[in-house]
Amino acid sequence: MANLKEVKQRISSVQSTQQITRAMKMVSAAKLRRAQDKIVQMRPYSQKLTTILNNVSAASEGAADIVYASSREVKKVLIVPITSDKGLCGAFNSNIIKATNHAIRTQFEGKEIQLLPLGKKALDYARKSKFSTVSDFSLVFQDVSFDNVRAAAEYAMDAYVNGDVDQVVLVFNEFKNVATQIIRTEQFLPMKAEETETKSTSEVDYILEPSRAYIIEELVPTSLKIQFYKAVLESNASEHGARMTAMDKATENAGELLKELKLMYNRTRQAAITNEILEIVAGANALG
């Protein structure tokens, strides 16, 4: 059995750890509110913009000529794994890495893979892999703004238009609630036909100025950048939710461990007192 000093040191250590995890939980909760507000506000805008784009594109004679929608034989794939910069958020980052590896093995086996990591954890994974890596945008989470994310989106879009890659795929966590994040592996480019295109385009009649072709030319890149930004915001909110949940569980586990250690401390202390009493009684009997 451990002595009193060792148990007391362990209790002190666990208490310090519990204070840290409780503080991290509170910080993540505060950040989560802001991140959740951003993604909740972004979703309706992104969905409506996509709906308008689908209606306009479906009604356009030149919809097939949209450069971002032209499909070709897939030989080169650009995968964008989106993780966090820090750990201590449960399986948040490892799930993205597993999903990326799974996609490479199942969907893109035999293809030339290039990685565009967003987040330090994704960058660490990319550097350890055997694939070509573009690390210019890995620090995007140091300042999650549309301007920073747009640069990464434009790189992916230009690579597709120039023929450097034939497909762009995003791997990220979609925010559902604090305790639940859904892993998504979505095709970013070429643009996929949405279900809304199957509906009658006469349901919505748009007046387009100066022309339909000009609107499509301006709207398509904007819509793609918004989708890319939305994926980053989803991942950002999911990260804080995952960290808040992980730190809450760690705080609870520390509390349970403290109960066991305090019980051990009391038992050890009681055993020490009992031994001292026995020694005193034995000494008194010996003198008698």
| Residues annotated as catalytic (active site), given as ranges | 89
Contact by Cβ (8 Å): 7, 268 = yes
Type of residue found at 240: H
Calculate the dihedral angle through the C-alpha atoms of 63, 66, 72, 78, rounding to the nearest 10 degrees.
-140
Q: Which residue has the tokens 């461990």?
A: 257
